[in-house]
Amino acid sequence: MVTGLDEYPIHQAPLPVTWAASSDRNFYDRAYFNAHDRTGDVFAIFGHGYYPNLGTKDAFFLVRRGDEQTAVHLSDVIDDDRLNQKIGNYRVEVQEPLKRLRVVLEETEGIAADLTWDGSFDALQEMPHVMRSGSRVTLDAQRFAQVGTWTGSISIDGTDLAVTPDRWVGSRDRSWGIRPVGEAAPQGAPLVPEFEGLWWLYVPMRFDDYMICLIMQEEPNGYRALNDCHRVWKDGRIEQLGWPHVKIHYASGTRVPTGASITCTTPDGKPLEIEVESKLAVPIHLGGGYGGDADWTHGVWRGPDFTERVTYDLTAPDVAGRVMFGVIDHVGRAVCNGDEGWGLFEHGALGRHDPSGFADWFTLAP
């Protein structure tokens, strides 16, 4: 269907803008945000997505305080108005593209937020990200990342949190392309070899004078399939940071990291040492809808104008037992050659990873 967007010279295929150029059911277009106040007391993660070939759109708002993690989910039938991003009580207003946005969650099941994002540095276009299982494409995506500050408020069951840019920081990304979404599709012939695991590290960090964004993905034998590591300066300069060497520090008897030691290389060949520590962990597969979430999968049809709230006690054995089987987002504090930074420390060690000493899905750190 032709919409107002078709008035602009932004077409990439001989189709109306609201129709995906790919017929792949897994086509998606989504946004991710996080916000924290540098204390490790609270971490909010939220986002929304459009899935035109599934006819759905959805959003989530996930927040952890103490040992409790609460998620609000919203879903609805997709529409053709992509200039006004709205799913139920959740909406995003683009006030200045790539610089300033407003994210609003009207009170839903006791949770509300009104947050304005200001990008601290230019958005960084990441490398294309492609994954295959045998001959099948499971991920073919483009993404950009940005760090910044937040202003506004978050309300949780009557407790109001004032969000001020001197304390509240975070990161965001926008991605679109192909990734598994919606109801599970028939798999066809068994994969040979079977999927054995995935090691993932994503660290966008905000420092006073620069942003660092490190993205690494390794196969079970340690082969690095993705290495996308940059520093963005306030004047717009972008430096590549080589092939980082990473040591993840895990809490004993778990796969939950407490931090990481990362050695990068600047373009002039000098080492750039980054020490990262976790201040608070949020498993995003517990209510966030990311890989392996049994309760909320992006793009699944839930019916029109759907909302729900789900709360997790992270000390409960049935919940704690799920943590190691997904990616965990952390409030991250970093020190880079003496400079302090804050942002996202996202890591997942799923299944076998030989360099980490994980022989299978159930091996834990000593």
> Over 90: is that where the pLDDT of 186 sits?
no
Most distant CA atoms of the chain, gap in Å: 60
Beta bridge partners, 146, equal 172
Round the average pLDDT of the chain to a whole number and report it. Answer: 96
Specify burial of residue 322 (Cβ count, 10 A radius: 0-12, 13-18, 19+). middle
In a domain, 323, yes or no: yes
Q: Collapse the DSSP code of 320 into the 3-class scheme (helix H, G, I; strand E, B; otherwise coil) and give the result.
A: helix
Q: Is residue 1 part of a domain?
A: no
Q: How many structural domains is the chain composed of? A: 1
Residue 274: how many CA atoms within 13 Å on its side-chain side?
33
Q: Which domain holds residue 283?
A: 19-178+197-356
pLDDT digits (tens, 9 = 90+) for 327-340: 999 999 999 999 99
Residue 361 placed within a domain: no
Check pLDDT > 80 for residue 49: yes
Q: How confident is the model at residue 168 (pLDDT cuts 50, 70, 90)?
A: very high
Task: Classify 131 as helix, strand or coil.
Answer: strand
Q: What is the DSSP string of 44-59?
A: EEEEEEEETTTTEEEE
pLDDT at residue 218, rounded to an integer: 98
Is 364 part of any domain?
Answer: no
**pLDDT at position 79:** 94
Place of tokens 């990362």: 262
Q: Is residue 74 part of a domain?
A: yes
**Averaged pLDDT, 27-51:** 98
Is 190's pLDDT higher than 90?
Answer: no
Among the ranges given (190-194, 267-271, 273-277), the one the predictor scored with the smallest mean pLDDT:
190-194
CATH number at residue 228: 2.40.370.10
| Position 257 confidence tier, pLDDT thresholds 50, 70, 90 | very high
pLDDT surpassing 90 at residue 17 = yes
Q: Give 207-233 pLDDT, tens digit per residue.
A: 999 999 999 999 999 999 999 999 999
Torsion sign (Cα): 36, 144, 72, 294: negative
Q: What is the DSSP letter of 163?
A: E
pLDDT, one tens digit per residue, over 68-98 is: 999 999 999 999 999 999 999 999 999 999 9
Size of the chain, expressed as the number of residues it contains:
366
**Does 56 have pLDDT greater than 90?**
yes
In a domain, 14, yes or no: no
Percent above pLDDT 70 for the chain: 100
User: Is 296 part of a structural domain of the chain?
Assistant: yes
Residue 192 has pLDDT above 80, yes or no: no
Which residues make Cβ contacts (< 8 Å) with residue 353, sequence separation at least 6?
A: 197, 199, 218, 220, 222
- Other Cβ atoms less than 10 A from the Cβ of 221: the count is 11
pLDDT tens digits along 284-312: 999 999 988 999 999 999 999 999 999 99
pLDDT class for 167, splitting at 50, 70, 90? very high
Residue 8 counted as domain residue: no
Q: Model pTM greater than 0.85?
A: yes
Strands, DSSP E only, in 9-99? Answer: 27-36, 42-51, 56-65, 68-77, 85-87, 90-96
What confidence tens digit (pLDDT) does each residue in 120-148 have?
Answer: 999 999 999 999 888 889 999 999 999 99
In the prediction, which pLDDT does 193 show? 79
